[in-house]
Every structure is written in C-alpha cells, then in structure tokens.
Amino acid sequence: MTTPSAEVSPKGFVPALLLCILLGGLGVHRFYLGKPISGIFMILTLGGLGIWTLIDLIRIAVGSFNDGDGLPVKSS
C-alpha cells in the first residue's frame, strides 16, 4: 500500500537555507520563496534585528517553513 505523496514547493531547501544564512537580514530567502511583503518588512527591520532571521533559519532547517503558496519547502 502506498501513501499519497504530499505536495511540496518547487523551491529548494538548500538555496533557501543558504540565502537565509548569508542574506537573512535582508529577507532575500523570503523573496526567493514567494513572500515579497514579509521580505520588504525584513529589509526595513534588518531581519527583526536578527531575531526574525534566526527564527526563519530554524524553521527552514527543521522543515516547517512554507513558501508563498503555503507548500512546505522540499528538503531534498
């Protein structure tokens, strides 16, 4: 018996994680994942002074971050 595969985002886990690590304070990972409004807020607040960036980094790393369409970012 096979289980139905859940839909996942076409956006990659590794690029999202790298963008968050390298340019997280500017919200580049959010633009990449299709969330431009929150990306603009991250630019204006410098990633919530790093706190918002850290939270995003953790969420991407554990696989609980969704793209702009609400689909989870694929982990591999």
| Distance of alpha carbon 56 from alpha carbon 53, whole angstroms | 5
What pLDDT is attached to residue 8? Answer: 86
pTM comes to 0.85
Q: What is the pLDDT along the chain (76 residues), one digit of tens a residue?
A: 544 567 888 898 999 999 999 999 999 999 999 999 999 999 999 888 999 999 999 999 998 999 999 999 877 6
What pLDDT is attached to residue 54? Answer: 95
What pLDDT is attached to residue 48? Answer: 87
Provide the residue range defining the domain that includes 45.
9-74
- Whether residue 31 is contained in a domain is answered as yes
* Cα Rg of the chain (Å, integer): 13
Residue carrying the six token digits 């591999």: 76
Q: How many domains is the chain built from?
A: 1
CB-based contact 9:33 (threshold 8 Å): yes
- Whether residue 39 is contained in a domain is answered as yes
What pLDDT is attached to residue 4? Answer: 52
- Whether residue 3 is contained in a domain is answered as no
Residue ranges with strand state E in 1-76: 9-12, 73-74
